[in-house]
Amino acid sequence: MAGFLVRRALWFVLTLWAVVTLAFFLMRAAPGGPFSGERRAAASVEAALRERYHLDWPLWKQYLAYVGPLELGSRGWIDGDGSDPFGGVLAGDLGPSLKYRDFSVGEVLAQSLPVSLELGALALVFAVVAGVGAGLCCALRPGSKLDLALHWGSTLGVALPGFVLASVLILVFVFLLPIFPVAGWGRPSQAILPAIALGAPVAASIARLVRAGMFEALGQDYVRTAIAKGMPVRIVVLRHALRQGILPVISYLGPASAGILTGSLVIEKIFFIPGTGQHFVNSALNRDYTLAMGVTILYTALVFFLNTLVDICYTLLDPRIPLEEA
């Protein structure tokens, strides 16, 4: 376990470095810049800003200043003077936002990330509960009306984009049946519709995976053994069949969680939720280099963390798979 975590940590550093480097140069390759909007500031102001954020430096030097440790900068190794706004990613400083100039990237993310995480967690819980429940219902009554209805519903759920579902939900539960508030964030009632809209496509996929997985598991010899041992249906299904049938869902949960977190931008926009999703798009459009980098690093870390978590869960559920090879 310890060896696995150390190896994962090393891979994480390597992955992060590759992502940072790639993202840094790709961002700079895009035309335009953070201060070249439609309403341009005076040339002298722009020059001052460019100097302040080192945009006048050669690219390799900017890269070092962004990544490099603080000490190098303050010692003047790359023309730093201690008041440099870049502390360096290695020191845990994501730099200043070029758009929201009163905030550092860290501050911007610290404000919005908890909102996105909360929404994502709610959506994920909904997706797992609804998906596994629906999948089990289907698998236990194959060919029944319930199975057909849920199967049809899950196909629709997979095919239907979240924003369409969100619009339908708003139409039905806000305007036709005024149960939920239309938008905003902070009260529990405001979280329900966006969590459902965000989680529904994932729930649909999970339902299909559980249905297929359970069909397979219920046909296995060891399930017949459990029945021959006189196990009650509840134990046969939940302990013997689901143990196997849930494995594909576990594999799927890593990418699915990442999808929920990154996919939340549309839902956040529809429901006016101050999450990270807005920065994901806006920072790129604004050429807010540092914020875009910060969001990229954040999502890289999240996806990496979630995948590692899934791998650990997987080996806990299936003892035949050694963690060392996961």
State the residues that interact with other proteins by CB under 8 A. 220-222, 224-232, 235, 239-240, 243-244, 317-320
User: What is the identity of the amino acid at 125?
Assistant: V
Q: CA of 118: how far to CAs of 85, 191, 228, 310, in Å?
A: 31, 9, 45, 19
Q: How far is the CB of 237 from other proteins (least distance, A)?
A: 13
Minimum gap (Å) between residue 225 Cβ and other proteins: 5
Rounded least distance, CB 314 to other proteins, Å = 11
39 versus 320: smaller Cβ distance to other proteins: 320
Instruction: Give Cα 245 distance to the centre of its chain.
Output: 25
Residue 119 near residue 266, CB atoms below 8 Å: no
The two structure tokens encoding residue 281 = 């798009």
Give me 257's structure tokens.
């969680």
Task: For other proteins, give the closer residue by CB, 241 or 260.
Answer: 241
Nearer to other proteins, 198 or 218 (CB): 218
- Among residues 281, 280, 297, 290, the alpha carbon closest in space to that of 33 is found at 290
Q: Which is nearer to other proteins, 138 or 267 (CB)?
A: 138
Distance CA 199, CA 162 (A): 8
CB of 146 to other proteins, least distance (A): 18
For residues 205 and 209, give the distance between their C-alpha atoms in angstroms, rounded to a whole number: 6
**Any idea what DSSP says for residue 96?**
B
Closest CB to other proteins among residues 13, 228: 228
Give least dist CB 244 to other proteins, A.
Answer: 6
